[in-house]
Amino acid sequence: AAYGLAKDPTSFAAVAVQEESPCDGATAQSLRELARLWSQLEATMSLPAVERRVALERLSELDAQLLPGPIASPLRRRLEEELATVFRELGEAAFDRGLNADAFLSLEDAAAYGLASPKLEASFIRLEERARNTLDELQHELDIDRRCAKLQDILAMTRPSSQAHKDARRTRRACP
């Protein structure tokens, strides 16, 4: 590999900082930026999830600029794992605050990286259980507007394939 991509994600960036770099100016600059950000990656792990997401997304953008398309650098998989973790953590935090739709969106973002994990699945299950409990409580709700609003919330916090989503969609048909 021309830039030493085999094992050390930062080794290819060292090429860019050499005086006689085989890279053009823009590529060398991107490599230097990637090396700088990669060296800060470990420090980002202690940042709050939102700030960590921004830093990881910037690294991912640089990686995609250097190796566009289906070519994956050693860094890309690590970034995807870290971003999936960050989105899962953001989803769990939103869940804890009762922001169910936000929790669902963050968990979906985590799942978009294709990294199935027991923690991610457990987070979806907790959200599904909350939706199921809300559906059960709705049996006693007499205010049609509140009932319809809660059904809409259930639809926003569950996967279309889930039973709670299907039940909420079916029940929501009676809403104005």
Q: Average pLDDT for residues 127-145, to the nearest whole number?
A: 94
**Band of the pLDDT at 135, cuts 50, 70, 90?**
very high
Instruction: Provide the terminal-to-terminal Cα distance of the chain, rounded to the nearest Å.
Output: 62
Q: What is the pLDDT of residue 78?
A: 78
pLDDT at 72 over 90: no
Distance CA 167, CA 39 (A): 49
pTM over 0.75: no
Distance CA 98, CA 159 (A): 17
Report pLDDT digits (tens) over 146-165: 999 999 999 999 999 999 99
Q: Angle at which helices 118-138 and 100-111 pack, to 10 degrees? A: 150
Q: Average pLDDT for residues 73-100, to the nearest whole number?
A: 86
pLDDT at 137 over 80: yes
Q: Which residue has the tokens 């029940």?
A: 171
**pLDDT greater at residue 112 or residue 45:** 112
CA 63 to chain centre: 17
On average, the pLDDT of the chain sits at 79
C-beta separation of 104 from 116 below 8 A:
no
pLDDT at 85 over 60: yes
Contacts of 25 (CB under 8 A, 6+ apart): none
